[in-house]
Amino acid sequence: MTELSCQGLQKAFGGLVVTDDLALSVESGEIHALIGPNGAGKTTALAQLSGELRPDAGTVWLDGADITDLSLPQRVHAGVARSYQVSSVFRDFTARENVELALQAMDRHSFRFFRPAARNAERVERAGALLELVGLAEVSIVPVHRLSHGQTRQLEIAMAMASDPRVLLLDEPMAGMAPDEALRLAELIQSLAAATAVLLVEHDMDVVFSVADRISVLHQGALIASGDPDDIRADPDVHRLYLRDDAEG
C-alpha cells in the first residue's frame, strides 16, 4: 500500500504563516479531500507535498522514505503527480499529442521536445490508453482549444497519469465546470482511486462529501479537523468556520 504523508510542515511568507504545523496522509485506494476557506493554505500545502515549494520546517514521506529534499521532477519520478487550478496544456495540439508529450517528458534519456512524439508507436498506444481511461478516446485527435472545459480538465488528469503515479494530487479539478461535467469527473476520480492515493483540494462540497473517504479541514494554515464525511459534517467548529458560510454563498 502506498502512503504519502507529512508531519510538522511549516511555511511562511514574511510574517504570514500559510502552513502551520501540518500533519496529513493519504493512502492508495483512498480519496482524501482537503477543504477550507479561500486563503486557508490548501494550494500551498499541495505545493509542498508535490515538491514545487520547499517547507520551512517539517518532513514529507513517501512509503516511509523521506522525500522532503526531492524536487518536483524527482517526486514525479518517485510516483507523486499533480494537476493545477489553472489549465496547463498546449491548446493548439490535439488531446493525444498533449498526452504523448507528457509521456515523452517521462523518458529521461530521449526527451527532445521538437522530435515528433508520434513516431514512437509504444508511446502512441499508451497515450490512447490514457485517453480511454479518462473518457476522451473519441476526441483524441481534436485540438484542445475545441474541447469543453470539462474535457480539458480530464485531459490534464490523463497527462498527470502519464507518469504512472502512485499518488495523485488534484487542485480544484472541478473549478468552473457545469454540474454534469463535475459529476463525470468525480466518477473518473473515484475510478482512479481504486489503485491510486488521491489527495483532492476542492470547493464543491457536494462533490467532496460524495467522493471523499476522509476529509481534512484547514483554517489559517492549521488543521482544525480530520475524519470521515459524517464526522466533518457534525463538527461544530467546521460548521461555524466553513460549511455554514459556504452554504450561505
Q: Check residue 241 and give its pLDDT.
A: 80
Query: Which has the higher per-residue pLDDT, 118 or 192?
Result: 192
Q: Which of 6, 37, 42 is nearest to 24 (CA)?
A: 6
Average pLDDT over residues 84-106: 85
> Is 119 in the same domain as 48?
no
Number of independent structural domains in the chain: 2
Q: Could you tell me if 25 and 3 are in contact, meaning their C-beta atoms sit under 8 angstroms apart? A: yes
Last residue of a domain, which of 164, 189, 224? 164
Q: What is the pLDDT of residues 9-18, one digit of tens each?
A: 999 999 999 9
pLDDT band at 116 (very low <50, low <70, confident <90, very high): low
What span, in angstroms and rounded, lies between the C-alpha atoms of 166 and 146?
31
What's the pLDDT tens digit per position in 21-39?
Answer: 999 999 999 999 999 998 8
Which domain range does residue 194 map to? Answer: 1-79+165-249
Are 170 and 225 in the same domain?
yes
Residues in the chain: 249
In whole angstroms, give the CA distance from residue 148 to residue 161: 20
Q: Which three cell numbers stand for residue 83?
A: 494537476
Q: Which residue has the higher pLDDT, 45 or 239?
A: 45
Average pLDDT of every residue of the chain: 90
